[in-house]
Amino acid sequence: MESGAQGCEIVVSGKLRGQRAKAMKFIDGLMIHSGNPVNDYVQFAVRHVLLRQGVLGIKVKIMLPHDPKEGKGVKKPLPDHIQIVQPKEETPIVQPYSEPKERKIEPLPQQMVHPQQLQQQQQQQQLPPQPQAQLQPGAPGNLVYQ
């Protein structure tokens, strides 16, 4: 831990005291146990010690720190590591505005008028006005055409 490791775990198992075998676990710091980052971050070693009473087993796991420069640690960050980026300063908009764009009004193309249609339009304009109905007081229906 003094060398910069994130965590370590030591398991000593065997006949520690008496005839019965035991396992003692010593843990310090952070240790991950599952997932693909275990392959990159955790170093694992097993040693056996032969004693007069029997064999002691010692397992040591050391979790390396994240070091992007690849000095003492691992270059890849942990998947749950989140980097918070400060937002950029934005100038506030005082009032929304829009710029009007000029539209070019194009004249519509003149339709070609057939000479017969032109004559019919002139004849309709020359017809005398139709008589209008007038109300006469006292007449049945009050409608009289002149």
In a domain, 78, yes or no: no
Q: Return d(Cα 47, Cα 60) in angstroms, integer.
A: 9
pTM above 0.95, yes or no: no
- Asked if the structure places residue 130 within a domain, the reply is no
- Extended strands (E) in 1-146: 7-14, 22-29, 42-50, 55-63
First to last CA, the chain: 120
Mean pLDDT of 15-35: 91
> Is residue 46 domain-resident?
yes
User: What's the CATH number where 19 sits?
Assistant: 3.30.1140.32
3-state secondary structure of 133: coil
Structural domain total, the chain: 1
Q: Which of these, 17, 88, 85, 26, lies nearest to 54 by C-alpha position?
A: 17
Q: Is 80 part of any domain?
A: no
Q: pLDDT for 92-126, tens place per residue?
A: 777 777 777 777 777 666 666 566 777 777 777 77
Kindly state the tokens that stand for 122: 């002139």
Instruction: State the average pLDDT for the chain.
Output: 81
Q: Is residue 128 part of a domain?
A: no
Domain membership of residue 13 as a residue range = 7-63
Percent of the chain beyond pLDDT 70?
A: 79
**Domain-located, residue 51:** yes
